[in-house]
Each structure stands twice: as structure tokens, then as C-alpha cells.
Amino acid sequence: MTTVAIDFGTSNTVISILETDTQLPKSLRFPDLSRLFVGVFDQAQRSEIPVIPSLIFIKSHKEVILGEGVRSQRLGLSQSSPPERLFKKFKRDLAGDYQSPPRQIDGINYDATAISELFIKTVWTEIKKQNIQPEHLVFTVPVGAFERYLDWFRDLGAKLNVPQVSIIDESTAAALGYALKHPDALILVIDFGGGTLDISLVRTVGNSHPNGNLRAEVLAKSEAYVGGEDIDVWIVEDYLRSQNLTAEQLGKIAYQNLLEIAEKLKIQLSNNQSVTESWFDDESFMSYELNITREKLEEILENRQFLQQLRDALDDVLGMALRKGINKNDIEQVLLVGGSSLIPAVQQLIKSYFGKNKVKLNKPFDAVCHGALAVREFTEINDFLRHSYAIRLWDSHSRTYTYHRLFTQGTKYPCESEAWLNLQVANNGQTEVHLDIGELGDMTQTEIAFDASGRMTSSILQHQETYRSLDSQHQKVCVAKLNPPGEPGFDRISVFFYVDSHRTLLASVKDLLTGEMLVDRAEVYKLR
């Protein structure tokens, strides 16, 4: 059986398979799509890692250009290839609750969902051109992914006509890949990519069964919605403030050029103390020079609370571990993965937490994708809910929403309700019962402060609870159809909830009036 893993990233996407003869993971390289990252990590041998930049340019309704083809041709950075046709960071938009309005290009609307699907399907075509016939597809997703985001991948797998589709947290996948060579290990993975920070603490247990399969348990995990793409924006904003310019004054094309330069300088700072890049704006006929030092970058990261969010996420995971009797010193290896983990300030912070000898950085770009291929080697992966499932209710007296939690964050799954939940109808003659069901999660937002001279002095991290409906159209879920119609004032239905091994919410519904079982363990957000 051929297994393909896709690590769909905000900045870069990696595609891997197991080589037939060696059964070792291999990252695929595609003509015109792939970019090679060359480096020596953890004093290992020189590596060339093929990645596909997560970029797409709509040249026409019949022609799209992906990945390195966009970068090498500098598409979206000139009048002849306007930025309106360039899409980037669409993975972030796909995961968001409220997406930006679609862009109309040549009479066709493109939103985050359409662009993401077009990107993956185009890459899938290139996979098939390499005479690969996948029977098992593994997608990696952020630790904090909500159910609707996971459902999008399940539906996409069905559209690609793959017999088996699996989904796994990105940082957990990297831990599984490490565990194949080091069973019976306690591993902490810190995945710092272009759009998210994911942390997973995973314990693997060797199985005595002759086939050598393994079991894994996710002990703790945390996340933050911050990454390398944010750093590029912050570098540009800092530069514009120093020049008394705004993005509007610069113009869309010049701003995109500046973002590209900021990314280049950020990467160069991994190996240099100071870097400089000059560029000429064809529109304004102005020359610009952007210089940045490691010290300046660290100042930006601190002011934007980038490093504080990393500290908070680490403290969150270590606190969860301690409540399970696991001390920080018990962790055997700390694996750094993701492009943002190459930032020296990030590495220094991690080493200050765990000590230099425990921290490893040898596969920053492909550890997640290679690890995802290890899913089939594990007979059991015990995980827990990162978000709570809840019913949202409107309180007419306080004029605010309240939440009835069905399963709380941290609950191991598969699991089921402790008791049946009895519900009444609201209106006389009501023939359907609708519930507003979704997930509750903690989100962090940064509030920036400036001094009297307009210089950024600090930023405040604000934590707030966010609700994500299971239905992409934000509609209430119909959990039961009533015959005869309901009457208010007494319990009419009883509902029992489950979460299956795929982290999907299921429900059974009984009609208390007729005694009929209306629904038996069906997916909640597909009940109609």
C-alpha cells in the first residue's frame, strides 16, 4: 500500500512517501513547483530539502502557477502580474472562522476554500505524474485545528478518491517519526512554522507483539496562532515606521516586494549577525535599503510578544505534564521543527528551558511530513480534545450567549456523555429541534502600545474564549424531526453524545413522546 503524507503549511508544503525498496521516508521534488532548502542542521550532513512554497498565481481561468514557479518569476510583484492575482497565507484563512471576501478574477470568485483546494488538487496531479498511486493519504494539521477545518480535509480526501484518509497533529506526527527509531521515549516536539506554533508531548510504548507495532499517548499539547509570516509583516512595519511611511503610501506592489525582502533577510539572520538588502521601486522610481540585525529582530519579537507566546505555550504544556506526574527533567528529547525554529532567539529560549544537550534540530522542514508516514506503524494513538464541544444558548435576560458543555477540553477520546440530555421545544407545533453546536477554544490576541513619539514600546497578550460552529454556514444543526409536532412545557427529546476515535461528534436521539429512536450514533453536523 502506497502512503502519501501532505504537510500543508502556511509558508511551505511538503509531500512525502515511503520508498518501496528501503521503506524510508522521502520528500518528493516537483519540476517548477519545488524549492530546495539547503543547510546543515545540528552539525549533521548537508541536506537538500524540497518544499513547495504555498503560493498560487491565477494567470487565467485555465492556467494557474504554483510554488517556486511563482517565486522564480516574481509573480504578483509588478504591473504585468498584479498582486490581486497572487494568493498566499490561504491556509490561515481556511482555518479562520470568518474568511475574507472572495476575490473576483476573470469573472470567477476565489476564496480561501477554493484556492486551497485548487492548490492541493494541482499538487495531487503532479504526484500522479510520478507514477504514484496513493491508497492512504495522511494530512497534518495544527494542534488547535477546529472540527470544520478537519472536515474540509476529510471531504477533500473523498474528492481525491483515496481509499483511506488519516489526519494527525503536526507536532504529534514529528514525535511519531522520531519514535520509530527510539521506542519507549518521552518526546517534546516544538513545531514553529509560518502560521502556527504547535507543541506536543508524546510518550511511545514498544509493543511486544511480533509485528513490532507501537502505541503512543499524547500527554499534553498547546498552540499559538503566530509564525514566520507574522515576523515578515512586523519587519516591514518596523521599517516603514522608521521611514515615516505607510503601506498605503508605498502601494500594493512595493509592499509585496518589501515582504519578500523581509522574508529573505529573516532567513539570512539565522547565519549572520547583520544583513542588508537594497531594492528599486519601478513605480515610484525610488531606491530603498533595509538593514536589520539579530538584536533588532529580537527586539521586534519581544515587543510583539512572539517569544512570550512561546513561553506561555511551553508553560501550558509543562503544567499539563506536571499534573500527570511528569517533570520537565523526565523529557528525553526536545525536537525543534518548522522554519521559524531556525531563528536563533527561538533556539536560545528553548535551550534555556531544557538544556542544550536535549534540544535537537536536524529535520526542520520535513520532520512533520516524514513522521506522518509513521501513523500506520502505530496500533493505537491515545489523544485528547484540545477544544470543548458545547451547545450555544441565548440568554434573553443578560442578552449574551451561554454555553452548555458536552465534553470539556482535555477529555480523552473516544468518549461518551455521562447522561442523556433532555430538551424541550420552544414553539407550539414545532416539527424540528435545532441546536447551535460547536467548539470552544482559547485564542490569544496581541494589543500593541506606542509611546508619545509613535515608537512601539510593548504589546499585551489578551486571552479570550472563541466559539466555532460545527456548521460552515453557521446554521443550527437539526438533531431531530418530530411527528407529531412538539408542544412547549415538557421534555420532548433526549440526546446522548459521543466522540469517536476520529474526534467526530456523534449523537443518538430518542423521542420521549413516542419512544422512537430518531437517530442512532450519527454525525452531528451531517444530521438533516
Residue 251 pLDDT exceeds 90:
no
Question: What integer pLDDT is reported at residue 136 of this predicted model?
Answer: 94
- The answer on pLDDT for 396 being more than 90 is no
- Answer for the pair 300, 238: CB distance below 8 angstroms, yes or no: yes
Cell of 117: 483546494
Does 446 have pLDDT greater than 90?
Answer: no
What's the confidence (pLDDT) of residue 77?
85
Task: Name beta bridge partners: 459.
Answer: 448
Task: Single out the residue of 218, 239, 262, 15 nearest to residue 127, CA to CA.
Answer: 15
Output the pLDDT for position 472.
67
**Strand ranges in 294-416 using DSSP code E only, listed in sequence order:** 333-337, 359-360, 378-384, 388-395, 400-407, 412-413, 415-416
* Cβ atoms of 318 and 229 closer than 8 Å: no
CA angle 474, 461, 303 (to 5 degrees): 130
pLDDT (0 to 100) of residue 99? 72
Mean pLDDT (the chain, rounded): 89
pLDDT tens by residue, 4-44: 999 999 999 999 998 878 888 999 999 999 999 887 676 66
Which pLDDT score, from 0 to 100, does residue 218 have? 95
pTM over 0.75: yes
Instruction: Specify which of 85-99, 181-195, 273-287 reaches the highest per-range mean pLDDT.
Output: 181-195
Give the model confidence (pLDDT) of 105-132 as tens digits. Answer: 999 999 999 999 999 999 999 999 999 9
Instruction: Look up residue 368 and give its amino acid.
Output: V
Please give the average per-residue pLDDT across 82-97, as a whole number.
Answer: 88
Could you write out the three-class secondary structure of 485-499? Answer: EECCCCCCEEEEEEE
Give CATH superfamily name and number for 384-526. Answer: Substrate Binding Domain Of DNAk; Chain A, domain 1 (2.60.34.10)
519-523 average pLDDT score: 93
What's the pLDDT at 11? 94
| Beta carbons of 140 and 7 less than 8 angstroms apart | yes
Higher pLDDT, 43 or 475: 475
pLDDT band at 527 (very low <50, low <70, confident <90, very high): low
Flag whether pLDDT at 451 surpasses 90. Answer: no
506 contacts 497 by C-beta, under 8 angstroms: yes
Q: Band of the pLDDT at 473, cuts 50, 70, 90?
A: low
CATH topology of domain 3-227+306-374: Nucleotidyltransferase; domain 5 (3.30.420)
Banded pLDDT at 528 (limits 50, 70, 90): very low
What is the tens place of the pLDDT at every residue in 310-329? 999 999 999 999 999 999 99
CA-based nearest residue to 516, from 478, 488, 490, 483: 483
Contact 301, 293 (CB under 8 A): no
User: For the chain, what are the domain ranges?
Assistant: 3-227+306-374, 384-526
Distance of CA 173 to the CA centre of its chain: 13
Whole-number pLDDT of residue 455: 58
| pLDDT tier, 228 (very low <50, low <70, confident <90, very high otherwise) | very high
21 burial (CB, 10 Å; 0-12 / 13-18 / 19+) is exposed
Tell whether the model's pLDDT for residue 155 goes beyond 90. yes
